[in-house]
Structure 1
Amino acid sequence: MTRFRDGDQPVPFVSPGPLPLRDTLAGWQRYRATRGSFVPAPRLDLATWRLLPPRRKMLYDLHRAATHANLPLIATPMSREVEQLLRGRIESNALKQKPTTRAGVMITGGGYQGKTETICEICAGFEDDWVELHRYLNPAALAGMRDMHAPVAYVQTPVTAKPKSTCKAILNFFGADTKNMDLPDLVRHVAASLNDHGTKALVLDDITRLRMHRADDQDVLDLIRAFMSMHVTLVLIGVDIPGSGLLREGRHDPGTGQWVFPPSHNVKVHGLEPTQTERRFDLIELDRFRYTTDEQITAWTAHLTGVEQHLRLMNAAPGMLTAGTMPEYLFRRTDGVVGLLERLIEDGCRHAITTSTETLTEPLLDNIVVSLNGAPGRDATAGEVPNVPATAQKAAGQTGSKKPGQRRNTVFDDHGPASGTGA
């Protein structure tokens, strides 16, 4: 807490406690209730800042750093397409009263492209509306009972997943005791927990941590698909799902655009496959920005305009991120990946404040090296850490032996997973 508003009111820009872990019910509820509550630093000009006492200058600069570290999630044309499909699928499935298998959704894309944050925001928005529709009561609660209502369950796929560890990860979301349970008991408890808590969407993040050459991982995928018998919308998030092997047993239905999977083979004994119903998934890519067509360039520039509005640099002129060659420069530095752009802007703003530059320029950003080595919670072997484009200085050092004007061979460049609509 700090105080430097009119009336000396507190401005909470430092979290008073540990950050919510979304893979628990309490953590998810706290995330849902507090998302979007961050209060950014007020805008001050340089003359006003200079009049502040030293301590208030320090607090204001700290608040600015917190503002740049907590830039809001800005909708993109790609995320709007994902929202339209995912929100519509979850709502339609939640309103079904027929005992039919609910179609699931797979969201694919490269690392640091905002898949998790986008999906969590969409699911949290659905839950906000769903609990309000039911007056914050669980419509599936048993008579005389007050089962907690959890319309959305968010679960991280274990790094070395097995059927038992996957079931335990789901049950841990609900705080259920999993000691001394064999796999059939775990599966039954998962079914009971999803039903008792009124769960409508089960989100399994980082699903491409599964390796389809391992028997355990194949069993996990069978088990996950069988969860669709529990009348929940299964939402799978992963890096490059088409190239991961998760779709190898499926066939693409050109009529519906969905991927169709045969019934699972290894989980019938647990009561999850009472019929031979096929499992269907919509597959959609949350792609990075592109910079080829006029429409794509306009979308990238509009996104930079949205980012610029949330920055607190006192020498920032209008068009700081969008004028001149800056849009092209930022695209070259980030390859259109929103997570890399956020890191570059955040580190650049801190450098601009520290050096009293108070604006972002290409020479200043050339001094910023974005490194994702050892990123916590990321499995590099599963493609969750993208390649970071080199800075202009680094690239010049690497190509110093080339003749002036000689173009670099780009044949083997990795541009990430291709969009479904092409570049």
Structure 2
Amino acid sequence: MTHKYNGPSFLPGPPVDRTTSEGWQRWCKTRKAFVPAPVLTAEQYARKSPRQQRLYNLHRLATHSSLPIEATAMSEHVARAVLARVEDGAFSHKAGTRGGVMVNGDGAQGKTETVCEALAIFEETWLNLNNYMNPDAMPGTRDLVAPVAYVRCPVRATPISTCQRILDFYGEDYKGMRLEDLVRTVKTAIVDHATKALVIDDITRLKLHREADQDVLDLIREMMSMPVTLILVGVGIPTSGLLREGRRDPRTHEWIYEPIKDRGRSPNDHAASQHERRFQVVDLDPFRYSTAQDMAGWTAHLRGLEAHLRLLNDPDGMLTGGDTPEYLFHRTGGVVGVLEKLIQHGCRRAIEDRSERLTKDLLNQFTVTPGDMPDLDAESGEQPNIPAHKPTSRKQPKGRNTVFDDDGPAAAGEAG
């Protein structure tokens, strides 16, 4: 009798696609299931067999590639705003339009993960309250209950392709449909699947060229009339045309919109003004490093990351000691996504060269590039501003590095 070999526990399973109902629900259930590598001292590591060491190195690699999203004061502000709007809409017994949220920020700030985590918490609560059933189900309606629907705008998105992405989430057939039919089918699917929150990520991929902006604003207006809280996530939302042209108050960090002019008015101006009244715009900002409070917040974030690293030599203070916090801020601009990639690269190299510790000399050997974040569309402004850095030369270890080599399935039996 043969047995299927499942491999070590840290191997990833099938890819999770949150843009389908099945994928979203699987992500909600498994998002905290990964077990990081155990913390070992250099002495404990040395007592392992070569095969066990190789497996542990691979487990550490998986750990550093799966660093959890550390909550920040900025992300908690966004999460509270999203949860408040969704809960207000979901628990309201009134008919009519629900207020929406626009989550704005530069690329790699963690907007998507912050919103998804907040909505996963909402979905768990909502399903539990309703015994995992649709409380408004009618005979003959669909069985699928999807309190949250998450979609991403395609690159060079249009109203038609955006509607198609929403229907893809539910697995609906839309072949041959015109825009009017697509919008109507979207509205029906949202009601039949008991969806309370609809996330449209990368919303600023919708380009508001003059001949098409009315269709875009009409689509947003149609969505606003649905019994669902609409959450739009994107880069540069206040200046994208989804709202009237805005500027940010440097003192309050709030967005201010100029009044509509009587002359030269676009037919969309009133629609944009309507959006302003119905959407709360919240920003997910990078860390700053200008005041004592800013520095303390940045250092606390680094300390949280430090606890998840699995290097063998004096891990305490690797990211927070001396002038390292200032150095890391200079290298990343306070952008959490850039910081995460820098730390991942550094940890891998520290294992490869057996130094087992992050230092400025080691981190200076490479830089983070846009290629490290391939899912962010540069044309839509999603790529973050990565501080320039010229890598220093790398000290090559003698011979071929074998720390990540594995001799095959037999090694799994010695992974203890």
- Normalising TM by the smaller chain, what interval? 0.7 to 0.9
- Give CA deviations for 1:164-210 in whole Å, capped at 9, x if unaligned: 21111111110000112122221111011000000001100001112
What is the Cα deviation at residue 243 of structure 1?
A: 2.5
Amino acid in the other structure paired with 1:135? N
Alpha-carbon distance in 1 for matches of 2:245, 2:297: 36
Match of 2:153 among 157, 177, 191: 157
Q: Contact 2:238/2:255 (CA < 8 Å) preserved in 1?
A: no
Give SS of 1:373's match.
helix
- The answer for unaligned runs of 5 or more in structure 2 is 1-5, 261-265, 393-416
Q: Which has the higher contact order (CA 8 A, sep 6+)?
A: 2
Aligned runs of 1:4-403 on 2, under 5 Å?
12-17=9-14, 19-143=15-139, 145=141, 147-248=143-244, 280-373=278-371, 375-391=373-389
Query: Structure 1 residue 373: deviation in Å?
Result: 3.4
Structure 2 distance, partners of 1:69, 1:221, is 39
User: How far 1:279 sits from its partner (Å)?
Assistant: 5.5
Question: Quick one: distance in 2 between partners of 1:260 and 1:106?
Answer: 18
Q: Please name the residue that 1:269 is paired with.
A: none
State the TM-score, normalized to the length of structure 1.
0.83
TM-score by length of 2: 0.84
- 2:357 maps to amino acid: T
Contact 2:159–2:215 (CA under 8 A) maintained in structure 1 = yes
Determine what percentage of the aligned residue pairs are the same residue: 53
Q: Which runs of 5+ in 1 are unaligned?
A: 1-8, 267-272, 395-423
Task: Give the direction of change, closer, same or farther, for the CA distance of 1:257–1:375 in structure 2 (3 Å limit).
Answer: closer
**SS class of match (2:81):** helix
Cα deviation per residue 1:54-91 (whole Å; 9 max; x = unaligned)? 11111100000000000001100001111111101100
Aligned residues: 374
Moved more, 372-381 or 106-115: 372-381
Q: Is the 8 A contact 2:208 2:216 kept in 1?
A: no
Question: Structure 1 residue 36: deviation in Å?
Answer: 1.0
Contact 1:315 1:358 in 2 (8 A): yes
Partner of 1:369: helix, strand, or coil?
A: coil
- Deviation of the 1:122 alpha carbon: 0.7
Letter in 2 for 1:304: L
Q: Which stretch of the first structure deviates more once superposed, 208-217 or 173-182?
A: 208-217
Which residue matches 1:3? none
Aligned-residue Cα RMSD (Å) equals 2.8
Contact 1:101 1:277 in 2 (8 A): no
1:224 shift after superposition: 1.9
Amino acid at match of 2:228: V
Q: Which moved more, 1:138-147 or 1:219-228?
A: 138-147
